[in-house]
Amino acid sequence: MDYTVYILYSQKRSGYYVGQTHDIEKRLIKHNKSLVPSTKSGVPWDLIHTQRVNNRSEALILEKKIKKRGAKRYLNDNHFGVYHAK
């Protein structure tokens, strides 16, 4: 089953959130309905980056790598650009 590693940005928090899921649409709705305790103070969240991987094991490895590096630096290092608040 494919998994998606994703990065969200909150203008309210001026910060990023990194996660992984098998259903990105459903997960983003949960984040923006304040159903995820760790992100409810940052609503609304913008989905700024997704990366598909083959399975949950790969997703967990990539998620950990991004969190260790920091989402902003990871995006810059990999030439994805950094989200700028409007």
State the DSSP H helix or E strand holding residue 25, giving kind and residue range, or none if neither: helix 24-32
Measured distance CA(70)–CA(52) in Å, rounded: 19
Q: What is the pLDDT of residue 79?
A: 74
Q: What was the pLDDT predicted at 80?
A: 75
* 86 occurs within a structural domain: no
User: Looking at the chain, how many residues does it have?
Assistant: 86
Task: Summarize pLDDT for 35-85 with one digit per residue, the tens.
Answer: 999 999 999 999 999 999 999 999 999 999 999 999 999 999 987 766 554
Number of structural domains in the chain: 1
In-domain check, residue 60: yes
DSSP string, 29-64: HHHHTT-STTTGGG-SEEEEEEEEESSHHHHHHHHH
Residue 56 sits in which domain range?
3-69
CATH number, domain containing residue 26: 3.40.1440.10
